[in-house]
Amino acid sequence: MDRYALVCRTILEHPKATQRDMAQILEFSLGTVNSLVKECLSRGQISLSEDGSYQVTEAGLEFLEQYRVDGALIIAAGFGSRFVPLTFETPKGLLEVFGERMIERQIRQLLQVGIHNITIVVGYLKEKFEYLIDKYDVKLLYNKEYSSKNTLTTIYHAREILRGKNMYLLSSDNWMRENMFHTYECGSWYSSVFKEGETSEWCFSFNKKGKIQRVEIGGRDAWVMYGPVFLTASWLDAYLPVLEAYYHLPGTEQFYWEHVYMELINGMAQKRLAEAGIGFVEGCPVSRLPELAQKAGLSVNRQPSTQVYEFENLEELRVFDAKYQNHSDNQAMELVSQVLGVPESEIHNIRCLKSGMTNKSFLFQVSEKQYICRIPGPGTGLLINRRQEGDVFEAVKPLDITEHIIYFNRETGYKIAEYYEGARNADPESWEDLERCMALLKRLHGCEIQLDHSFDIRERILFYENLCKSHGDIPFEDYEEVRGRMFSLMDYLDKLHRPETISHIDSCVDNFLFLPDGRLKLIDWEYSGMCDPLIDIAMCAIYSYFDDEKTDHLIEVYFQRKPSLEEQLVVYSYVALGGFLWSLWAIYKSALGEEFGEYTIIMYRYAKGYYRKIAKLHKS
C-alpha cells in the first residue's frame, strides 16, 4: 500500500480531517500520520489552508491518478444451492436484505464513489439480471461453463475485462454495511474478518506491513478472506497468465480463483505446472514463479465483524433479516408452511437434493420429521399431465409401494412427501437389488389396476419431435433415416396387439428406494400410464446404461426364465424407442437452457444399436 496516496485519499474524502482523525481512519499511529503528512506537504501533494485543514493539490491529484479504480467485476453466475428453495426462483445476488437486493446495494455503493464501469458475470437464471442494464448501465458477461466449473473459470472468461486495469472483484451475494469502496485504491487487497474458533474459511497469515504471506483452507482463530477484493493492474499482470495456465490443466475445474493465488503464494504453482509439462508462463520460466508471487502480493484489509456479510444459508439470513423468518416471498416455503401448519421459521435444515432431469427438489425438517418438496422444472407443465399423475397416485395407493405423499397439487405439480432417513437407491451393479426391483415391477404389472390414460410412445415421439422443431433444428445428421427405422418398430409392435397394464415408464434405479426396514418403494410416477409392461424393463436398462449382456440378463431376471423370441424383440424395440424418445426430450430441454452432457448421444445410440440388433434377429 502506498501510504502517501492513502493520506491524500483520506484528505479528499474527509476535507476537515485532523491528523488524529486520519490516524483513526487509517488505523495508523499518530506519529506515523504526522510523518506522512509532513512528507506529502514537502512533495507538494497537499497544502495547509488558513483554517488549519488540509487540501489535496493539483500535484496530489495527479499523483493519485495512477490509483484510480477503473471498474468492478461482479461474479453472479452460480446457483446458490445452500439457499434453496429461494434460489430456484431467484439468483442469490438478487435476494433482498432489508428490502434491498444485495447486488443492487453494491452497484449503488460503487456509483457513489464514481465507479461506473461495472460488469456482471452471469450464468444461472441469467435473464433475471437483464433489467440491471437499463437501471444502472451495467454490462453482462455470460459464462457458459457456470454449471460445471467454479470461479477460476469465471475469471478466465472475464480476463480481458480485468487485464491492464485497477478493478474491484466482487461477489453478488455480499452485503456491506458501510460503503467500503473508493475512487482511488492504493494497492491490492482482500477484505478480511477475524473468525474465532474452528473455521472452514480461507485463512491467511500476514507480516507487519499487512502483506499476506500464506493461505490455508480451514484453521482456528484466524483472519479469513471475506468479502470484496481490489486488484491493481500490476497484480493482474502477474496473476492472469498463471490463471490462464491453470484453466487448461485437468483437475482444476472446481477450483476457485483463489486456489490459483493460494498455490502461487504458497509455492505450489511451480510444481503443479512443471508436472504438467509447462515450462513457461507468458515467457516467464516457471522456476521464477516465486518472483511472480511477490509481485502478486495482496494486503489484508481488516474489517470489523459487523461490516461484511457472506450469508452461507437461509438460516443465517433469517437471523440477520427477520423478514425471512416467516415471509420469504417464496412459493415453495409458503406452501410448506401452509400444508404443515407451521410458520416458516420452523422449517429448518433446508438443503438442495440432486436436481432431477425433470424436477427440482429440496429436503427440509419440521420438528423431528424430514420431508422432500418437489418443484416442477422449466417447461414441465407442457410435458407432464399432473392430473393424470394424481390419478396414478390414487390408483396405486392400496399397493403401498409409493412414497408417503403428504401433499400433491394436480394443477402445479408441487409435491411434499415424507423423507426416508437412511434409504438408498437401487444399485445398477447389484443383481440382488435388480431382482427385487423387477419383482416389484412384475407385481405392479399384475395388479389389474386400470387407468383412464395411456402412455403412447408414438404420440410422445411425435410430440417431442414437434417441440424440438419449434425451438430449432434436430442436430443429428442421420435423424430422418433413424426416425424411419423407429416408426417401422412401432408398426411392428402395433401388429402384435400386445396387452397393456399399468406401467411406471420411468423405472430407473434412482426411483427405487430401499428403506432401512427392508421395504422397497417406487417413486416418481409422472410418466406412468397404461402401456405394454415390457417397456419398464427397457427403460430400466437404458437408464442404467446397460450393455447388451446386462440388458439380456435383466430380461431373464424379470421373467425368471428365458424369454421367448417375441418377448426379446419387444423389449429390444422399447430399448430403441426409449432411447429415441429420450434423446428428443433432452434436445428439447437443452433448447430451454438445461444441458445433460452425453446423455443425448447415449440415448440416440440405443435407438440405432438396438434397431440393428432387432434387424439381425429378424433375419435369423
With cell 478466465, the residue in question is: 156
pTM to 2 decimal places: 0.81
| pLDDT band, residue 620 (cuts 50/70/90) | low
* Chain mean position to CA 279: 34
Per-residue pLDDT tens for 321-345? 888 888 888 888 999 999 999 998 8
Query: Are the C-beta atoms of residues 344 and 350 closer than 8 Å to each other?
Result: no
Confidence of residue 217 (pLDDT cuts 50, 70, 90): very high
Q: Tally DSSP H helices, then E strands, for the chain.
A: 25, 25
**Spatial separation of the C-alpha atoms in residues 10 and 54, rounded to whole Å:** 10
Q: Return d(Cα 523, Cα 52) in angstroms, integer.
A: 78
Tell me the pLDDT tens digit for each residue of 42-81.
999 988 888 888 899 999 999 999 999 999 999 999 888 8
pLDDT above 90 covers what percent of the chain? 66
Q: What is the pLDDT of residue 354?
A: 60
Residue 105 has a pLDDT of: 97
Instruction: Determine which of 50-54, 104-108, 392-396, 441-445 has the lowest per-residue pLDDT on average.
Output: 50-54
What is the widest separation between alpha-carbon atoms in the chain?
Answer: 108
Q: For the chain, give the percent of residues with pLDDT over 70.
A: 97
Question: Residue for cell digits 477484493?
Answer: 229
- For 100, the enclosing helix (H) or strand (E) is strand 100-101
CA dist list (Å): 576 to 141, 420, 448: 41, 34, 27
- Which backbone phi and psi does 373 adopt, to 5 degrees? -110, 125
Distance in angstroms (rounded) separating the CA atoms of residues 1 and 532: 74
Whether the bond between 85 and the residue before it is cis, its omega within 30 degrees of 0, is yes
Q: What is the pLDDT of residues 147-172, one digit of tens each?
A: 888 999 999 999 999 999 999 999 99
SS3 sequence of 122-188: EECEHHHHCHHHHHHCCEEEECCCCCCCCHHHHHHHCHHHHCCCCEEEEECCEEECCCCCCCECCCC
**Assigned C-alpha cell, 600:** 443425448
Least confident of 203-212, 343-352, 377-386, 478-487: 377-386
